Amino acid sequence: MDLNLNPLDPLICTRAIAGEPERAVRLLTRQIAGIQENGGGATAKTFPGDGADHRDQHLCTTCNPLSMPDWWRIYGKVFQAAIDAGVMSIMPGHITLPAYQKEKNEFIDGFHPPATLSKALLTDLLKREMGFKGVIVSDAMMMGGFRGWYPTRIEGEIQSFLAGMDAMLWPSYEFMDEMEARIRSGDVPLERLDDAVSRVWEMKRKLGLLDPQPILVRNMTRSEKQEAAADSRRITEQAITLVRDRKNALPLDPAKDKKILVVGVVPMSRKGGDGGFSRLTHLKEELERRGFTVDLQHNILYETDYWQTDLPQRYDRILVIAIRQMHQPYGPLLFWDDEAQSVWAVNAMPKDKVIVVGMGSPHLINEYFEHVHTCINAYSYDESTQSSVVRALMGEIEFRGSSPVSLVRPEFKLPHP
């Protein structure tokens, strides 16, 4: 349910379905219906809404900085729509909402606690004001945004339950024993336990988990697998977005664009592996099947080539694939090191032969390549998307996608004196 409001957000930038609430409501309520009509329990995350900060709640507690009127108009609208659509579960994030928490005078050591530790947000806002009757399930309890608020991890987990959490994602192994001891001592009121148990029990009833022989998993039929593959192709074909083609470079033609260099501008790391670079062989093969001669390389090491490159003279087209996906590796969804050199090289060369395709953060196109004449956003590097990109480049299908987020760089504002 999170919204892509901040181009520098390292999580939601590539996870959000939209940047504005109306589109999000229209699509997400249908996803909820699709999941729950087919035997699943949908979970709406991450309350009170991520995507406005520039930090990662896996690393530290982050903030939703909106005023309450703005929050109700944007994030509140999306989550209320999910509640009204009957979503079975909501996941709070390790995110603060200071505008509301200030009203409730809720602080820990002078700071607003994350929603996962906030009675104001879980009980007062979500359960009472918004009328959510389903299960509140935490985000992962080992994340940096949750840890450290209390002297021990297990104390934080107990306090999360007291704040209104009904189910825990990855608590410590000792949590159940400690919870039982706190209930017996009276530190955890039975009313709080009854609230959580009744919500979880009702969700299990709705999902059929209390039936004598519940069906939990079944294999897809052959026709269902074929239908899923067809759906994937249809969706990706409609998603490919032509951001601009100022010089009418498209469609590509093997007769005049015979030799193509595909440059994967993508970081490799311990966390994230090769970032999707090896999968670009699929795009290379798709182009070769259409009669092109294609080379594939990782980055353009501009500095080590003495600040010059002869690639525009050696190739008819240079297809730059810019991939920056969440946690591949951890950190901002920007480019640095060898990938930064590649950006430098692209911007130093004549642009008539260059085509940039973003297969990750949609903001990379205008963040780094605003002077490149032909730019495309594809949002993902899975094989179905790559195939659809090639079909669009060839003119076999039309570019039908529209940007789900604003690509206008945010206006810089000086701080108030």
202 and 301 in a single domain? The answer is no
| Residue 403 lies inside a defined structural domain of this protein | no
Instruction: Tell me what pLDDT residue 271 has.
Output: 85
- What pTM was estimated for this model as a whole? 0.93
Q: Looking at residue 302, which CATH number applies to its domain? A: 3.40.50.1700
252 and 294 in a single domain? The answer is yes
Instruction: Tell me what pLDDT residue 68 has.
Output: 98
Q: Report whether pLDDT(89) > 80.
A: yes
Report how far apart, in Å, the C-alpha atoms of 25 and of each of 32, 112, 384, 406 are.
Answer: 10, 28, 26, 17
138 and 257 in a single domain? The answer is no
Q: Which residues of 68-91 are buried (b: 16+ CB within 10 A; e: fewer)?
A: eeebeebbbebbbbbbebebbbbb
| Mean pLDDT within 371-378 | 98
113 and 257 in a single domain? The answer is no
What pLDDT digit, counting tens, does each position of 293-307 carry? 999 999 999 888 788
Q: Which domain holds residue 318?
A: 237-394
CA distance 74 to 99: 14
Q: Report whether pLDDT(145) > 80.
A: yes
Report cis status (omega within 30 of 0) of the bond before 329.
Answer: yes
173 and 114 in a single domain? The answer is yes
CA distance 155 to 152: 5
| Residue 113 lies inside a defined structural domain of this protein | yes
Model confidence at 361, in pLDDT bands (50, 70, 90)?
very high
Gyration radius (Cα) of the chain, Å: 24
105 and 59 in a single domain? The answer is yes
Q: Looking at residue 199, which CATH number applies to its domain? A: 3.20.20.300
Instruction: Tell me what pLDDT residue 305 has.
Output: 79
334 and 277 in a single domain? The answer is yes
| Residue 401 lies inside a defined structural domain of this protein | no
Q: What one-letter code names the amino acid at 92? A: P
What pLDDT digit, counting tens, does each position of 32-78 carry? 999 999 999 999 999 999 999 999 999 999 999 999 999 999 999 99
278 and 194 in a single domain? The answer is no
Instruction: Tell me what pLDDT residue 408 has.
Output: 84
Q: Report whether pLDDT(217) > 90.
A: no
173 and 284 in a single domain? The answer is no
| Mean pLDDT within 328-350 | 94
| Residue 75 lies inside a defined structural domain of this protein | yes
Q: Which residues of 182-199 are buried (b: 16+ CB within 10 A; e: fewer)?
A: beeeeebeeebeebbeeb
Q: Give the ranges where 289-412 is alpha helix by DSSP (H).
A: 311-314, 337-348, 364-368, 383-394
Instruction: Tell me what pLDDT residue 402 has.
Output: 94
CA distance 40 to 36: 5
Instruction: Tell me what pLDDT residue 55 has.
Output: 95
| Residue 413 lies inside a defined structural domain of this protein | no
Q: Report whether pLDDT(267) > 90.
A: yes
What pLDDT digit, counting tens, does each position of 156-185 carry? 999 999 999 999 999 999 999 999 999 999
Number of domains the chain is built from: 2
| Residue 258 lies inside a defined structural domain of this protein | yes
Instruction: Tell me what pLDDT residue 216 has.
Output: 84
The region of weakest confidence among 312-321, 336-345, 381-390, 401-410 is 401-410
Hey, what are 157's tokens? 């987990």
Smallest CA-to-CA distance from 273 within 334, 327, 322 is with 327
Instruction: Tell me what pLDDT residue 335 has.
Output: 96
Q: Alpha carbon 186 to chain centroid distance?
A: 41
Hey, what are 338's tokens? 């060898």
341 and 292 in a single domain? The answer is yes
Q: Report whether pLDDT(417) > 80.
A: no
249 and 200 in a single domain? The answer is no
Mean pLDDT for the chain overall: 95
Contacts of residues 386-391 at CB distance under 8 Å and 24 or more positions apart, as own/partner, are: 386/279, 386/280, 386/282, 386/283, 386/286, 386/359, 387/233, 387/236, 387/282, 387/286, 388/233, 388/236, 388/237, 388/239, 388/240, 389/240, 389/283, 389/357, 389/359, 390/283, 390/286, 390/287, 390/290, 391/237
CB atoms within 10 A of CB 110: 5
Hey, what are 51's tokens? 């995507």
